[in-house]
Chains A and B, each alone.
Chain A
Amino acid sequence: MADPSEFELLGRVTIGQYMPTGSVLHRLDPRAKLCMAAALVATVVVSQSLLGLTVLLLAVLAALALAHIPLRFALAGLRPMVPFLLLLALLQVLAIPQYSANARVLWRWAVLTVSDRSLIAGVLLILRFCVLVLSLSLFSFSTTTTELTHGIEHLLRPLQAIRLPAHEFALVVNIAIRFLPILAGEAERLMKAQASRGADFGRGQRNFIQRARMLLPLLVPLFLVSLQRADELAEAMEARCYLGGKGRSHLIQLQARLRDYVALSIMLILAILSIHLNAIQADQVLWTWLAKNLSHLL
């Protein structure tokens, strides 16, 4: 069977799409979701513990199930990043031993060394990355861009005191996100049009310059069209008397409910648990326990 979606750009990139399943997660206040996402990202970055990250990964998987999003669809967003991820993990595995004094060397060849520490670091990197991508996918699957904009604007509002233009900032984010699928659709159309004239994207042995030249028929019209679109958007906004955030009221008034506080509390508990596991060095405890029992078995 021939690949029927040779040009379907949107079909491959699942991250950044909204999936209206109407679950509890979809109905959460966007501010709560933004705070949860920020807390999760911070915890993931801070945590050095395999156990802590596994807890977070399981939590994200549970949340995906709660949001009625098929795991296969969520994982599709991870797939294109797998090669990079493996490369990064490999670099991590090879680079760490040089900086760690009390690591046990497992394997050595010329300048390359692999130790127990570095293997753990590689696994940590992969885990961390999976949690990040899955949680951000989940966020975009369950939050419309309008909700996101409102959430950002509300959260940034206190910063208006120091003259941060909260509304404008939120609008920029909104437009950038809103235009992504449009640009992807445009790129798809152009690729098809140029392919109809015999263009061949991505295949064949060519050097770098030829490859870059091959993209011109796609990039030049794409830029022209987006500039034109930006111009039209600005005009359409001015035609409807847009003057920026000052004195602007909102159609949707955000209201925090009980479920938002519950969700935030769960997130907080997870974050504390994960960092606590890190602090008490639960991994070491687990390793020693495993080592003792495995040697017992052997």
Chain B
Amino acid sequence: MSEPAAPLEAGQPALIRVMGLCHTYLRGTPLETPALHGIDLLVAPGEVIGIVGPTGSGKSTLLQHLNGLLRPQGGEVFVNGVRLSDPQADVRSVRQQVGLLFQSPEDQLFERFAGDDVAFGPRNLGLSADAVRERVRQAMEMVGLPFEYKDRLSTELSQGERRRLALAGVLALQPRVLVLDEPTAGLDPQGRQDLLRFLSVWCQSPGKAIVLATHNMEDIAELCTRVYVLREGRVILHGPSREVFGQCELLRQMGLAIPVAAEAMCRLRQRGYAVAGTALTIAEAAAALKALIHG
């Protein structure tokens, strides 16, 4: 696979730059398990990066390096110019700039009232009560929860609402990069659509970027500008989504699904129909088919 089509515009600094990152769990014990071998990754403002790969390929480990939960054992991670392998690095400000949302984040809610949970982050930043309130309002409205919900018991909310509440809890820190681990897993179709719509709106605002790890190729197809494919702790394929999903044979060999639309185009081509390009969404596939039939 060729180098990605220059993701950085001239003069625009990367938000996150990962170079040759290595990580081994329980290093120095008989139970040590290597997880990452020399990962390179770049996140520029305005990008939505997808990270895909089978279970155990190192996705979550990689994500935890992006906000300093794990420190590099080998290689370097720079977040906005801060070198994370430096013991003096200000991790708290890094964690504020890079908001990380774990898998099934609704489990991590702990306050009785929804609003208090969203306020946890801003309060940790030491903001005044008014500023906290304002941030909670903004964050909740961003994820489509009415501000009045702040006084509801967090256990009373539905699962989709609880997940959005957890997301609001991260957004209240006003991060520049949002890092999400399996954001749509376990959501119903409506909840998933809402979440994806919100994410695509959020990353429109200037200077923001999203990194998401997922099994769900449709999420990637709908959102991501670039994709990294991980396997056994190595990046084996990366580039713009369209290019990566064009390699349907290779992806299938690795046991990864590809978006339905891309799969359909791929099979048509195998049967000798000259469909143009790689479709990522159903609408694109429909357009390509129409073009094939009519002309």
Q: Which residue of B lies closest to A219 (CB)?
A: B110
A117 interfacial by beta-carbon distance below 8 Å:
no
A196 touches B29 (CB 8 A): no
- Determine how close the nearest CB of chain A comes to the CB of B215; give it in whole angstroms: 18
Query: For residue B95, which residues in chain A have a CB less than 8 angstroms away from its CB?
Result: 195-198
Query: For residue A8, which residues in chain B have a CB less than 8 angstroms away from its CB?
Result: 25-26
Q: Which residue of B lies closest to A76 (CB)?
A: B29
A192 interfacial by beta-carbon distance below 8 Å:
yes
Per-position 1/0 for A196-233, Cβ under 8 A of B: 11111000000000000000111011001100000000
Query: For residue A217, which residues in chain B have a CB less than 8 angstroms away from its CB?
Result: 108, 110, 120
User: Which of B87, B120, B125 is close to A1, meaning CB atoms less than 8 Å apart?
Assistant: B87
B156 interfacial by beta-carbon distance below 8 Å:
no
Given A197-B169, A197-B170, decide whether A192 and B69 contact each other with a Cβ distance below 8 A. Answer: yes
A2 touches B85 (CB 8 A): yes
Query: What is the CA–CA distance of A272 and B212 in the complex, to the nearest angstrom?
Result: 63
Q: How large is the interface on B (under 10, 10 to 19, 20 to 34, 35 or more residues)?
A: 35 or more
Query: For residue A220, which residues in chain B have a CB less than 8 angstroms away from its CB?
Result: 110
- Determine how close the nearest CB of chain B comes to the CB of A223; give it in whole angstroms: 10
- Determine how close the nearest CB of chain A comes to the CB of B193; give it in whole angstroms: 25
B96 interfacial by beta-carbon distance below 8 Å:
yes
- Determine how close the nearest CB of chain A comes to the CB of B27; give it in whole angstroms: 8
Query: What is the CA–CA distance of A192 and B64 in the complex, to the nearest angstrom?
Result: 9
Number of A-B contacts (CB under 8 A): 92
A11 interfacial by beta-carbon distance below 8 Å:
yes
Query: What is the CA–CA distance of A6 and B65 in the complex, to the nearest angstrom?
Result: 12
- Determine how close the nearest CB of chain A comes to the CB of B88; give it in whole angstroms: 9
Residues of A within 8 A of B (CB-CB), count = 36
B71 touches A3 (CB 8 A): yes
Could you list some 20 contacts between A and B, CB below 8 A?
A2-B85, A2-B89, A4-B27, A6-B71, A8-B26, A11-B26, A14-B29, A76-B29, A193-B108, A194-B120, A196-B67, A196-B100, A196-B102, A197-B124, A197-B170, A197-B173, A198-B95, A221-B108, A221-B110, A225-B107
Query: For residue B99, which residues in chain A have a CB less than 8 angstroms away from its CB?
Result: 196
Query: For residue A6, which residues in chain B have a CB less than 8 angstroms away from its CB?
Result: 69, 71
A145 interfacial by beta-carbon distance below 8 Å:
no
A200 touches B31 (CB 8 A): no
State which residues 96-151 of B face A: CB under 8 Å: 96, 99-102, 105, 107-110, 120-121, 124-125
